[in-house]
Amino acid sequence: MAVAISTCHLERLPPPALVQEPNSNDLTVTLPDISSNVTAGNISEWVIVLRDEQGMQFNITKQGNERSHDFQGLPGGNYTIYMYIIYITGEHGHSSDQQEVTIPCAEPKSLDLSLTTSSLKAGIARVVARWTYSGLDGACRVLSHNITFQRIVRDGCDYQTGEVDSFAVDGETYEFPKRRLAAYSEYRVTLHLITKEAVYNISREIRTESTAPTGPPSLEDEIKRGRVVIFKWSQLPCGSRHGDITKYKYFLYKNGILQSVTETDLQRARERGFRTNDSYQFKVKACNQAGCGPFSETRSGIFDNSHTLPTA
C-alpha cells in the first residue's frame, strides 16, 4: 500500500544551524525542525553535503531521528554546506540553501628542523637544513618557505653578530643547502612556513664543521738566557682558528740543518745548546682537530751572547 507523504507548503528546507567555537576546527550541524511541514516518520535519512575550496565533497548521512552531526578536525579553509532529505520511499526530497562557513587553519600537528654541517675547504663550511611538518593541507597548505642564516657571537670572539641572509624556497621543497659559511662558527637558522593565513616559524642553532686554521701565529722577539733561546708567539685571531687550537708545531734549524720538529700546547719554545755564531731559523704553525694551518714567518738570527738576539 502506498504511503502518503506530507510535504505541505514546503518548497525548500530551512538551512541547518551551524555552531563553531572561535578558532576551532570543529563544526556542529543541527538539522532544522520541519515537523510542521513533513511528518517525521516519513523521513528516512538526512544528507549533509560539505564541499571544500578544491571541490572535494563530503556526504554525511544521518538517520531520520538524528538531529545533529559533529565535524571534528576539519582542515582549514572555506566550505559550502547544505542538506537534503530522503523519504522512506527512497525519493530525494527538498534541499536547503547553501551556506558558507570558514574553518581557521590550525597549528601544524608537527614541525621539525634538522641541521647538518660539513667542511668545504679551509675556513669554509656548509650547513644543510631539512624540515618536516604535518597538518598543513588543503587551503592551509604551505605556499612557500623562507629560511634565514645568522652568525651569532659566542665566547667573546672577535666578530659581531652577522647580518641575516634570507632565501626564498618554494612550497614543494624540504631541504636547503647553505654553502660558504665560516667554519667552526655558530649560526642560528630559522625556517618560516608561509601559508595563506599564517606564518609558522622554527629555529635551530648549529656550530659549523671545523677546518684547519687559515692564519699563522705571530712571532714575538726571542730571548736568550745563557745557551738557551726562548721563542714566543701569540694566539691566532678567532676568525682564523676555525676550531679549538689543540697544539703548535714548530721547526728549528741550526746552521742550516733541521734540528727538531716539536709539538707543544704552549705558546713558547725553549731550545738549548746554542754556541756563539750559531745561526738559527724558527717557524711555527697552529693546529686544531681538523689539521694544521700555515707557518708563521721564519725568524732567523745569529747567536751572539747578547741579552736579546737580533732578528732578520
Those residues whose C-beta lies under 8 Å from the C-beta of residue 72, and which sit 6 or more positions away, are 25, 26
**What does each C-alpha distance from 38 to 6, 10, 14, 81, 94 come to in angstroms?**
5, 8, 12, 22, 11
According to DSSP, the β-strands at 175-182 and 186-194 are unpaired
CB 221 within 8 A of CB 311: yes
**Cell match 516518520: residue?**
41
Those residues whose C-beta lies under 8 Å from the C-beta of residue 215, and which sit 6 or more positions away, are 236, 237, 239, 240, 241, 286, 293, 294
* Distance from C-alpha of 279 to C-alpha of 301, rounded to nearest angstrom: 6
* Distance from C-alpha of 271 to C-alpha of 283, rounded to nearest angstrom: 13
For the chain, the residue count is 312
Q: Is the dihedral of CA 171, 174, 178, 184 positive or negative?
A: positive
**What does each C-alpha distance from 20 to 23, 269, 301 come to in angstroms?**
8, 78, 88
* Distance from C-alpha of 243 to C-alpha of 185, rounded to nearest angstrom: 9
Phi, psi of 26 (to 5 degrees): -105, 145
DSSP output for 197-214: S-EEEEEEEEEPPP---S
Q: How confident is the prediction along the chain (312 residues), in pLDDT tens digits per residue?
A: 333 444 444 457 788 889 988 878 889 998 887 765 555 557 788 899 999 888 889 899 988 788 889 998 888 888 999 988 888 777 777 788 899 998 888 788 899 999 999 998 889 999 999 999 988 877 788 999 999 999 887 655 645 567 889 999 988 889 999 989 989 888 999 999 998 888 999 999 999 999 999 999 999 999 988 889 999 999 998 888 998 999 999 999 999 999 999 999 999 999 999 998 999 999 999 999 999 999 999 999 998 765 544 444
* Distance from C-alpha of 153 to C-alpha of 127, rounded to nearest angstrom: 18
According to DSSP, the β-strands at 228-232 and 175-182 are unpaired
pTM over 0.75: no
